[in-house]
Amino acid sequence: MKTSIGRVRTTGRLACDAQTAWQKVCFYEHISRKPSWLLRTVLPTPQRTTGSYQKVGYVSRCMYSDGGYLAKTITRIVSGRQIDFDIAEQTVRYHRRIILKGGTIATDAHEDGTSSVHMLTRYQLRFPTLGLGRSSWSSS
């Protein structure tokens, strides 16, 4: 099995100050709006969440529409600025091929009164090897 480590970084600029942005920061499973059609097609959708992400060491566990779950352990919080987390457990649809490792959500203030939110996700991709190195065919 081959593996590849990856990161996805998403940044959005918001028309609000960094403190307001920070108060709205949340994980995918805490968004109260229904995910877009595209997200619902590609990803399992959150069904219910238990736990919290307010303090270091807290665990937030979410059940998804595919019957799987994802548990995040908060590893670091810089109040009003950044939250880091590790994935403690996962059984969502792609968990054998895409292993979520953790991530960071951070906010930055800009001089013009706006802010940016940065989301970083760490993951590991696992690819099956085809085992085509040597053939066991006989030419006799």
E strand intervals along the chain: 2-14, 46-51, 59-64, 69-78, 82-90, 98-109, 115-127
In a domain, 138, yes or no: no
In a domain, 140, yes or no: no
Do 105 and 81 touch, CB atoms closer than 8 A? no
CATH of the domain at 19: 3.30.530.20
In a domain, 132, yes or no: no
In a domain, 19, yes or no: yes
The pTM of the whole model exceeds 0.85? no
CA 106 to chain centre: 13
In a domain, 73, yes or no: yes
- Number of domains composing the chain: 1
In a domain, 39, yes or no: yes
In degrees to the nearest 10, what's the CA dihedral of 36, 70, 21, 83? -150
pLDDT of amino acid 9: 92
Q: Is 20 helix (H, G, I), strand (E, B) or coil?
A: helix
Q: By residue range, what is the domain housing residue 76?
A: 2-127
pLDDT of amino acid 7: 93
pLDDT (tens digit per residue) in 49-87: 888 888 999 999 988 888 899 999 999 999 889 999 999
pLDDT of amino acid 49: 84
In a domain, 62, yes or no: yes
Which residues, given as ranges, of the chain have pLDDT below 70?
1, 26-32, 35, 95, 128-140
In a domain, 37, yes or no: yes
